[in-house]
Chains A and B, each alone.
Chain A
Amino acid sequence: MFAASDKGGTGRSVTSANLAYHRALDGDDVCYLDFDFGSPTAAAVFDLPDVLSEAEGRGLHSYLKGKTGEPLRVDVWSRTEHPVLRSRPGGSGRLVLLPGDRTGGEFVTDEENLHRCVDLVLRLKREFDVIIVDLSAGRSYAMDLALAATSPRGGLGRLKTRWLVYHRWTRQHVMAAAELVYGKQGIVQAGVAMGHETDALSASIRFVRAAVPNLDSPMWSQVSAAQYAWMRQCDTQLEEIAAARGIGKTRVLSSIPLEPVLQWQERLITDEDVHDRRIANVETWQKMGELAQRLTEDKHWGQL
Chain B
Amino acid sequence: MSAPEEESRDTETVLACGEVRTCLLPTRDAVDEQVAERLLRLRADERVRLSRRPNRHAVSPDILTGVDCRLPTAGGAKIRAVGTVTARAALVEGRVLQATAHFAAPADGPDRRQPWGYYLVRPGVLVPVGRLARQAVVKGFLTGQQQDELDVGSVAESLLARISRQHRLLDYDTPLNTTDTSLRWAALPAADGEPAAPHFTVADDGRRVVELRLPRGTSPAAAATLCEDLALHDWLLTTVADKLDGLRLGSADGRAALKVLRPLVDHLLHLWMPQARVDRTLNALWQELEETPGFSRQWTSLAQRIRDQLAVQLLTRSDALTAS
Enumerate chain A interface residues (CB-CB to B < 8 A): 27, 29, 68-70, 73, 90-91, 118-119, 122-123, 125-129, 155, 157-159
Contacts and interface: CB of A to CB of B under 8 A. Distances in A.
7 contacts: A27-B256, A68-B147, A69-B153, A119-B158, A122-B172, A123-B180, A125-B174
Contacts of B26: 122, 125-126
B65 interface: no
A126 B161 contact: no
A130 B256 CA distance: 18
A155 B180 contact: no
A119 B165 contact: yes
B164 A90 contact: no
Given A69-B157, A90-B248, A119 B177 contact: no
Interface in B141-184: 147, 151, 153-154, 157-158, 160-161, 164-165, 167, 170-172, 174, 177-180
B172 A125 contact: yes
B23 to A, nearest CB: 6
A119 B159 CA distance: 11
A90 B167 CA distance: 36
A123 B178 CA distance: 11
B180 A158 contact: no
Contacts of A123: 160-161, 164, 180
A215 to B, nearest CB: 40
Contacts of A122: 26, 161, 164-165, 172
A158 B23 contact: no
Q: Which 6 A-B pairs have the closest CB atoms?
A: A119-B161, A69-B154, A122-B164, A29-B177, A91-B248, A158-B167
B172 A69 contact: no
Contacts of B170: 158
A262 to B, nearest CB: 31
Contacts of B167: 155, 157-158
B177 A126 contact: yes
A158 B177 contact: no
Contacts of A157: 167
Contacts of B161: 119, 122-123
Given A29-B177, A69-B157, A126 B165 contact: no
A159 B27 CA distance: 12
A158 B172 contact: yes
B114 to A, nearest CB: 27
Contacts of B256: 27, 91
Contacts of B158: 119
B170 to A, nearest CB: 7
B24 interface: yes
Contacts of A91: 246, 248, 256
Contacts of B154: 69
A182 B40 CA distance: 42
Contacts of A69: 151, 153-154, 157
Given A91-B248, A157-B167, A126 B157 contact: no
Nearest to B168: A158
Nearest to B164: A122
A238 B115 CA distance: 71
Interface string B9-26: 000000000000001101
Nearest to A128: B177
Contacts of B177: 29, 126-129
A275 to B, nearest CB: 22
B183 to A, nearest CB: 15
A282 to B, nearest CB: 25
A68 B147 CA distance: 8
B263 to A, nearest CB: 13
Interface string B38-77: 0000000000000000000000000000000000000000
